Amino acid sequence: MVKISKTYVPKEKEKYMCAKHLAFFKQKLTDWKADLIKTNNDALYNSSMDDNSTSADIVDQASSYTEKNVEMRAINRQIKLISKINSALTRIKDGTYGFCQETGEPIGLKRLMARPVATLSITAQEKHEKEEKVFADN
CATH assignment at residue 87 = 1.20.120.910
pLDDT at 55 over 70: no
| Whole-number pLDDT of residue 65 | 79
Q: Closest by alpha carbon to 3, among 17, 18, 20?
A: 20
Q: Are residues 89 and 122 in the same domain?
A: no
Q: Are residues 116 and 66 in the same domain?
A: no
Q: How far apart are CA 21 and CA 24, in angstroms?
A: 5
pLDDT at 64 over 60: yes
Q: Is residue 5 part of a domain?
A: no
Q: What percent of the chain has pLDDT over 70?
A: 88
Q: Closest by alpha carbon to 121, among 111, 131, 134, 135?
A: 111
Q: Is residue 81 part of a domain?
A: yes
Q: Are residues 25 and 78 in the same domain?
A: yes
Q: Are residues 38 and 48 in the same domain?
A: yes
Q: Are residues 23 and 87 in the same domain?
A: yes
Type of residue found at 11:
K
Between 131 and 27, where is the model more confident? 27
pLDDT at 119 over 90: yes
Domain residues for the domain of 81 are 18-97
Q: Are residues 92 and 108 in the same domain?
A: no
Q: Are residues 53 and 116 in the same domain?
A: no
Q: Are residues 60 and 30 in the same domain?
A: yes
Q: Are residues 77 and 32 in the same domain?
A: yes
| Whole-number pLDDT of residue 41 | 81
Q: Is residue 86 part of a domain?
A: yes
